[in-house]
Structure 1
Amino acid sequence: MKNILSVLLLCSGLTYAQQKDYPIKPVAFTDVKLTDQFWSKRIETNRTVTIPASFARCENTGRVKNFEMAAVQKGKFCTKFPFDDTDIYKTIEGASYSMAVHPDPKLDKYVDSLITIVGKAQEPDGYLYTARTIDPLHPQSWAGPERWVKENELSHELYNSGHMFEAASAHYMATGKRNFLNIALKNADLLVETFGPDKRHVAPGHEIVEMGLVRLYRITGKQDYLNLAKFFIDERGHRSYDKSSKDEWKNGMYWQDNEPVTAQDEAEGHAVRAMYLYSGIADVAALTGDKEYIEAIDRIWNNMVGKKIYVQGGIGAVPNGERFGDDYELPNTTAYNETCAAIGNVFWNQRMFLLHGDAKYVDLLEKVLYNGLISGVGLDGKSFFYTNAMQVTNGSTYHDLEKGRSGWFECSCCPTNMARFLPSLSGYVYAQKANDLYVNLFVSSTANLQMHNHPVQITQQNGYPWNGLLNFTVQPQSADRFNIRIRIPGWAQNEAIPSSLYHFQDKSNASYTISINGKPAKYHLENGYAVLNRTWVKGDRIQVNLPMPVRKVDANPVLTVNAGKVALQRGPVMYCAEWKDNGGNVSNLELPASATFKPQYNAALLNGVMVLKGQALQKDTTATQAKPQLLTAIPYYAWANRGEGEMQVWFPEVSNAAK
């Protein structure tokens, strides 16, 4: 239980010695007890609603039945996609994380029953893929006539394995049981026997097996697993594609397979695949010391953050292929922004921070987390967005998901991905390196950790993200000198995003302050952190005040789609206007250049939110002059929880003369 994050988020306390690893280690989520009102409610809803609903839907949609039929090799694959197996794996993973901090004997027993069903579907040599095993002579159409022959494209055989490895690792570390782990190891050993330099060659069509193999390596110390993860990464860029074609499927970009990864410098292709690949590269780089890998993902990160990300942290702009577009191709009316891509973006940015120790990665992680990620699940915990729109107008139907949230999808990767992500959220709050304790996220909690092999407790109390007054109490077992590095968010330093893609319209004169025991603190800024170095004693109190004025955000002029428009941000939260609060329509609203906005907390609205109120103008084609109208903006993540209607993030801004 204590070392669960060694598998989940690359923590220390491994079962064998490693010579290389991430220089920074996150504090295990099991060692950070949340008291936070914002996140605790969501995680409890995930435990009591989302996870049970996901299991129920796996049963009533036939996903469990596929495993039962595979066990007897009789029947017909009864769902649509060959990767439907992973919805069971991901929900087991989320349930395992949940049980690690909230023991649940009934859930534990149910998960074991599912693992038994999964195990019976595994073939004697370790192969586990219901889309073929049910009827090997007539497999699902994406699977191909034989094992692995379509793995580089559509079969998702290795994708299924990767999610199974992640789920089995989490289950083992949470429960100590080997029932699922043994299934995963048997499958992983089959992959080692099948793929390699002198064996079958393939670049996995949908990455994640690389991350999963690293998790198994961390548990077992079996070098073959790490070697295979690296082999799969190095296989990219060696297939025969039509490099002159602009079709991403024909030139290999869709699968991030057009060039060797060490030659890539652009976020490309299917956005979820990309995030899992870049995360896997970071894992392998940390464990092998491969500098070319790190240089590649550094270049790709700069490209994504500088040219291919939406203002609320969404990525994957193009619906056709759920993929990145060209540089600066970020349309609002057809934005795709898959929820799984947002989750993958958090995975990748956490790893980039662990490699480099720079707060800019956590700044981006926070932007994604509070906006384009949690927008993917409704406040009820059982309604979801597969994609996360930037603009909805009456009559817009470019994809069905704009019409409202759904309880499930034929391709239901996003709901089950959310179920596995949320329970481990507290593992992103703190991190450590030698003499440094990093405070990355501002979440009310109590953490118990070790500095210099001595216990230290640190307690956060705040009203984040609505209030920037942050209080920390440090309780070392005995007086000890070390650094506490508190992230000073980019938004508190007049930076909207760690690139020039978006910027605040005006600089704020409100500056943050830091005190220790009521007196101004001595500190220096380093890589986005306020470094507090002192001998800490029991009861030391740190207070950080991050002012949260409402900021207008402008886009870089190269984003012509947002020319003359502004977005609204307060603290880490991006805002939108929704039909429900604004007379039924928002697409006819403009903001005067002089408009100011006042934040007001409304405990009765959308489970408690800070809304913004300010003066807007309502355009009317039948009138000669726009009419004044009070605009109410809500956090972007909270939209579409009160029915269907218009929503807008970017607002046309008009001069006072035009008013």
Structure 2
Amino acid sequence: MASERPSSPRAISRPVPLQSVRIRDPFWSPRQERMARSSLLQQHAMLEEYHHIDNFRVVAGEKKSTFVGMFYYDSDVYKWVEAATYSLAKFENADLARKIEEIVALIVKSQQTDGYINTLFTTLFPGERMKYFYVMHELYCGGHLIEAAITRYEIFGKKDLLECAIKFADFLIAFDPAGKSKQYMDGHQEIELALIRLCRCTGERKYLDLAMRFLEARGRDPRRTRTALANSVGLASILARQARALVEWERQNGVIPRPATKVALDTADATMLHKLRFAASYLSGKYVQQHLPIREQHVPVGHAVRAMYMYCAMADAAMELGDASLSSTLVEAWQHMVRSRMYVTGGIGSLPLVEGFGNDHELDNEHAYCETCAAIGNFLWNWRMLQLTGRVEHADLMEQVLYNAILPGWSIDGFKYRYTNPLASRKGFPHKDWFNCACCPPNIGRIVGSLGQFISTTSDSTVSINLYIGCHVDASLGDGTGFEFTIESRFPWAARATISIIKAPDHPVVLQFRVPSWTEEATISIKNETPQVLSDWGVFHRIERTWHEGDAIHVDFKASPAYIFPDPHVKANHGRVAIKQGPIVYCIEHVDNPEYDFDEMAIDITRKLESRFEPDVLGGVVLVTGKIAGHVPGKKEEFTAIPYFAWGNRARGPMQVWLKCAR
């Protein structure tokens, strides 16, 4: 029996539980099935090949070997379990189910009697565990264990992994019960949001208290530069001794087969200045958001994934505690990010090495990091901000990030991934089947598998449609009455959808429809009534009435291909434009425009853009065409643009999002 996810008492809206939503969508259903039946099995094969799962077998006593890989490998296994659990709830797959059960059993057997769990330290350095919080990711890995365990319990009602997660959380509480250590906080945030989720799941306030302790510890270490240096030395020592231990084990027992390291970086090469900026960010504490107390962090800095997970936890805490100071800090940080530190795709992180935020308006396209996991963090933060504030701009940004910053990280065939997502490339970067730092593949699996929970939210007497994804929704209102409906969607290629009521209470209910900020014209019509042209965009349009079975609401948002003009403060985009149709950002690739050098080609923005759906191109996409300025005889007069999320799926070659335009 599945357990419904508890909601926060002070949230303005509540997500409809994943178990109550069934996606039936021409765009997303094939992708969900591909993830469930192919991608997750391929990811499992990579986890085997790179020894992630073997590390648990070693600790569990089921294999004679030693630790192989990186200190964060455990987290990839936990994320995979969570992603596979989401997919298994929708698609029966005996092979996938068997693999989940094997891994869960290994995890449980790998836990130490005091609740500690980490395969690197248990295997090689048991006397040095819980020592280097900035760098060793023990708490980060444990956070993903907790999330996987709660997901397994909520969907299938299984408590084995949840009991393991609770033991680990209790170990963390007992580690420093008096709360005296200023260094006791994670260098990579994740444990905080996981602990708050555990509090909601169990009803135990102590987990929320520990999450707040970790959050409040940030910016409180007066010796943070010295702490950072000590952690760096500790990391270097552990990695060196780990390498020597592997050599010695292989000398005595034979070589352990393992693949060559695959570098994740797909942006332009980091410069010496980037390296110096990374050192400054790390030593100042900004890299890990340790430079200021959390309520003073109004400007996003440092590693983007870490920042997003911290903001997620702060939003969760604000909803649990009704903490207005946390809420106001989050609003300011969000506004600053969107205004000055975010790409047109919704991607974040402009600096390599830092893997995160640069200065205001420092949005270089070739060096853009835009890590897929950072986009996922941005999506999850906005989901929480939507619940916290009820403001439509968070749903708008969720859509923008989903299609243009998360989806580019997953190849169309479902078997390859991209870690970073630059907005310009001189030679092109194909997706890869895996990385030595493989956080993104299972993280994409988590979002794709759990997509249903982001579509609709409810409050006491309101049902909100946040994302137009085809589905069947069986929601509950605040008084316990049911409200059941379907969404039939043509998004993202045609901005039209129909909401059909299946069951409704015999009292008025507000249906709230997101009117996207990108629309040129919005029309809403209800069965047998005169269509209404809406005058406001970027809002929630509310209709209150007593609904009946068979009522149908049609929404139609006009979306023609259009140029986006850059913020004049962004020097990298001077003299350039981007293209967007509806929620989709476009780019040009060499394979469609082979005659032209993109650095020299200029487009004529006085000429109208055209679009057409091509079912046989890149799995079926809308292409956009426009005119090239100063047409050269013998060359095409027009350029062709494809959705940015689809780049890199064909022949390798240059790509650009921001296009040079004729003056």
Q: Give the alignment's TM-score, normalised by structure 2.
A: 0.88
The partner residue of 1:173 within 126, 138, 154 is 154
For residue 446 of structure 2, what is the amino acid of its counterpart? R
Deviation of 1:360 after TM superposition, in Å, equals 0.3
Q: What corresponds to 1:434 in structure 2?
A: 460
Q: Does 1:213 align with 2:213?
A: no
Instruction: Classify the secondary structure of the residue corresponding to 1:315.
Output: coil
Deviation of 1:31 after TM superposition, in Å, equals 1.3
The partner residue of 1:269 within 302, 312, 332 is 302
CA distance in 2, matches of 1:586, 1:457: 53
For residue 204 of structure 1, what is the amino acid of its counterpart? D
Cα 1:229–1:584 shift into 2, 3 Å: farther
Aligned-pair identity (%): 33
Q: Unpaired runs of 5+ in structure 1?
A: 13-17, 138-144, 395-401, 493-509
The partner residue of 2:394 within 345, 361, 365 is 361
Instruction: Classify the secondary structure of the residue corresponding to 2:450.
Output: helix
Q: Does 1:113 align with 2:102?
A: yes
CA distance in 2, matches of 1:573, 1:526: 17
Q: Given that residues 516 and 537 in structure 2 are in contact (C-alpha distance below 8 angstroms), is that contact kept between their aligned partners in structure 1? A: no
CA distance in 2, matches of 1:235, 1:478: 47
Q: What corresponds to 1:513 in structure 2?
A: 523
Q: Does 1:641 align with 2:649?
A: yes
The partner residue of 2:47 within 58, 64, 68 is 58
Number of residues paired by the alignment? 606
Q: What corresponds to 1:603 in structure 2?
A: 615
Instruction: Classify the secondary structure of the residue corresponding to 1:544.
Output: strand
For residue 442 of structure 2, what is the amino acid of its counterpart? T
Q: Given that residues 437 and 483 in structure 1 are in contact (C-alpha distance below 8 angstroms), is that contact kept between their aligned partners in structure 2? A: yes
Q: What corresponds to 1:558 in structure 2?
A: 569
1:274-324 Cα deviation digits (max 9, x unpaired): 110000111111111111111111111011001000011110110122011
CA distance in 2, matches of 1:478, 1:120: 49
The partner residue of 1:23 within 12, 17, 21 is 12
CA distance in 2, matches of 1:652, 1:524: 34
Q: What corresponds to 1:71 in structure 2?
A: 60
Q: What corresponds to 1:465 in structure 2?
A: 492
Q: What corresponds to 1:372 in structure 2?
A: 405
Q: Given that residues 618 and 627 in structure 1 are in contact (C-alpha distance below 8 angstroms), is that contact kept between their aligned partners in structure 2? A: no
For residue 645 of structure 2, what is the amino acid of its counterpart? Y
For residue 646 of structure 2, what is the amino acid of its counterpart? A
Q: What corresponds to 1:487 in structure 2?
A: 514
Q: What corresponds to 2:233 in structure 1?
A: none
The partner residue of 2:501 within 441, 455, 474 is 474
CA distance in 2, matches of 1:417, 1:231: 26
Q: What corresponds to 1:161 in structure 2?
A: 142
CA distance in 1, matches of 2:194, 2:630: 52
1:231-270 Cα deviation digits (max 9, x unpaired): 0000000112459x97111110000010000011101110
The partner residue of 2:433 within 407, 414, 418 is 407
The partner residue of 2:552 within 510, 530, 541 is 541
Instruction: Classify the secondary structure of the residue corresponding to 1:610.
Output: strand
For residue 555 of structure 2, what is the amino acid of its counterpart? V
The partner residue of 2:82 within 78, 81, 93 is 93
CA distance in 2, matches of 1:643, 1:197: 59
Deviation of 1:197 after TM superposition, in Å, equals 4.6
Q: What corresponds to 1:294 in structure 2?
A: 327
Q: What corresponds to 1:140 in structure 2?
A: none
The partner residue of 1:313 within 346, 370, 376 is 346
The partner residue of 1:419 within 420, 427, 445 is 445
Q: Give the alignment's TM-score, normalised by structure 1.
A: 0.88
Instruction: Classify the secondary structure of the residue corresponding to 1:581.
Output: coil
CA distance in 2, matches of 1:312, 1:95: 27
CA distance in 2, matches of 1:241, 1:584: 54
The partner residue of 1:454 within 477, 481, 491 is 481
1:532-587 Cα deviation digits (max 9, x unpaired): 11121111111111001111001111001101110000000000011111126551
Cα 1:126–1:161 shift into 2, 3 Å: same
Q: Given that residues 350 and 358 in structure 2 are in contact (C-alpha distance below 8 angstroms), is that contact kept between their aligned partners in structure 1? A: yes
Moved more, 153-162 or 118-127: 118-127
Q: What corresponds to 1:616 in structure 2?
A: 628
For residue 70 of structure 1, what is the amino acid of its counterpart? V
Q: What corresponds to 1:499 in structure 2?
A: none
Q: Given that residues 504 and 547 in structure 2 are in contact (C-alpha distance below 8 angstroms), is that contact kept between their aligned partners in structure 1? A: no
For residue 636 of structure 1, what is the amino acid of its counterpart? Y
CA distance in 1, matches of 2:469, 2:623: 20
Q: What corresponds to 1:496 in structure 2?
A: none
Instruction: Classify the secondary structure of the residue corresponding to 2:339.
Output: helix
Instruction: Classify the secondary structure of the residue corresponding to 2:315.
Output: helix
Deviation of 1:37 after TM superposition, in Å, equals 0.8
Q: Unpaired runs of 5+ in structure 2?
A: 227-275
Q: Given that residues 444 and 460 in structure 1 are in contact (C-alpha distance below 8 angstroms), is that contact kept between their aligned partners in structure 2? A: yes
Q: Given that residues 576 and 635 in structure 1 are in contact (C-alpha distance below 8 angstroms), is that contact kept between their aligned partners in structure 2? A: yes
Q: Given that residues 3 and 28 in structure 1 are in contact (C-alpha distance below 8 angstroms), is that contact kept between their aligned partners in structure 2? A: no
| Coordinate RMSD, CA, aligned | 2.1
CA distance in 2, matches of 1:562, 1:626: 29
CA distance in 2, matches of 1:446, 1:29: 11
Q: What corresponds to 1:503 in structure 2?
A: none
Moved more, 209-218 or 369-378: 209-218
Cα 1:518–1:511 shift into 2, 3 Å: farther
Q: Does 1:589 align with 2:616?
A: no
